[in-house]
Structure 1
């Protein structure tokens, strides 16, 4: 039974181009008060305990452009379960509801997964140089960390999003790799 509430999900990383769930609407959106950042140590997917890499999180401050997905009420339970499994395997993120501004100007409340500064995986506000050091050469179950960064920047560009800090970080990493 519907409660009349629209169900929205906000993605700022791979959820933008690989949501993995059914949706009825996809639109550009901006979340204020958080920014896209490599602020989470990765010891499985993009690094190891001996050589951690970094993955994206939503760190406090700024604003982030991403995608909002409206999910049909009938699909919501399955989508919600999928997202909890995808985004919470190590409980690195905090599930929250935040308002985003859609490209149309409309504000909607979205499910979003925020970085949790209380978790041991929280890397915090690292300099771009330190981020590049950690990303360069780190490899985990999902492959090289620099591939994750390249993929992110390529997809952001495809969406018309210029994230200057991600562009600078990629340039630093590629410089270290001699690319």
Structure 2
């Protein structure tokens, strides 16, 4: 079985957690990066949800495509499902992404399930910041998640103006 690709758009960019042989900047069309998922585990609790990123319909998203050896497929998919599917809020899909080289590859991606109770929908920056500020879960403070994502996107030369505005609103004064 040949190598396969995984598309990261949030914390997978800065903490993939799986072995890969290549990482390339890539664009996924038809979905955008959005703080649209209430986090009940990693960055919040059911009593005090935080917000994490999802791929929501519309636009496009620049992220990172990771090439994984085919021999690791079972192991990596099991890891991703355990990480991303804790509450079943994401739908696992294989979607075409365009690498920075212009080549198009099929990549595993996790998109927001709009029918799930944790789907927050479209939020403005101020509302998103209120939810993020002070939320924390098993993986730490929600503000740290947002700041780390913005920092790592910036390092890659990827701008997400909406997320950057939320990060400024939740940053310590």
TM above 0.5, yes or no, is yes
Pair 1:50 & 2:47 matched: yes
Q: In the alignment, is residue 77 of structure 1 matched against residue 53 of structure 2? A: no
For 1:111-130, what aligned pairs fall within 5 Å after superposition?
Answer: 111-130=108-127
| 3-state SS in 2 of match to 1:22 | coil
**What does 1:83-102 correspond to in 2, within 5 Å?**
83-102=80-99
For residue 42 of structure 1, report the CA deviation from its aligned partner.
1.1
Could you tell me the TM-score, scaled by structure 1's length?
A: 0.92
Q: Which runs of 4+ in 1 moved over 4 A?
A: none
- For the Cα contact (< 8 Å) 2:11–2:145, is it kept in 1? no
For 1:171, the equivalent position in structure 2 comes to: 168
2:28 to 16, 25, 31: 31
Cross-structure match for 1:156 = 153
Shift of 1:53: 1.0
Bigger Rg, structure 1 or 2: 1
- Aligned Cα root-mean-square deviation (Å): 1.2
Q: What does the per-residue CA deviation read over 1:67-109, in whole Å, with 9 as the maximum and x for residues that have no partner? A: 1111111111111111111111111100001100000000011
| In 1, Cα distance between equivalents of 2:67 and 2:136 | 34
1:104 matches 2:101: yes
Q: Does 1:15 align with 2:12?
A: yes
1:134 alignment counterpart:
131
Q: What's the TM-score, normalizing by structure 2?
A: 0.95
Give the deviation of 1:39 after TM superposition: 0.3
Instruction: Describe the SS at the equivalent of 2:158.
Output: coil
* In structure 1, C-alpha distance between the alignment counterparts of 2:71 and 2:149, rounded to whole Å: 31
**Alpha-carbon distance between aligned partners in 1 of 2:72 and 2:105, rounded to the nearest angstrom:** 18
Q: Tell me the number of residue pairs that the alignment of Structure 1 and Structure 2 aligns.
A: 173
Structure 1: runs of 5 or more not aligned: none
